[in-house]
């Protein structure tokens, strides 16, 4: 299902890094994200809601 907040995302299993591209055009890398959290993102019907509940404010990040 398309998200009104998240345009795309990619998970690096080896580095445990989750890159998220927002519809605003801003891109962030979330660090030390466990594979189970990335798997939850993959399965979530609402990527934006999942991001808000399980990723935002839970992991350190850098803007790319």
Beta bridge partners of 10: 19
Is the model's pLDDT at 1 over the cut of 80?
no
- Quick one: CA dihedral 24, 61, 11, 51, positive or negative? negative
Three-class DSSP category at 13: coil
pLDDT score, position 3: 74
Domains of the chain, residue spans: 6-63
pTM for this one?
Answer: 0.90
pLDDT score, position 2: 56
pLDDT (tens digit per residue) in 4-60: 899 999 999 999 999 999 999 999 999 999 999 999 999 999 999 999 999 999 999
pLDDT score, position 41: 95
CA angle 21, 23, 26 (to 5 degrees): 50
Token pair of 63 as six digits: 């803007």
């Amino acid at each position: 299902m398309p998200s009104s907040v998240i345009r795309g995302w990619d998970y690096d299993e080896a580095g445990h890094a989750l890159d998220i591209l927002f519809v605003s055009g801003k891109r962030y890398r979330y660090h030390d994200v466990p594979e189970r959290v990335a798997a939850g993102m993959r399965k979530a019907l609402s990527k934006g809601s999942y991001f808000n509940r399980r990723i935002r404010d839970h992991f350190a990040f850098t803007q790319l």
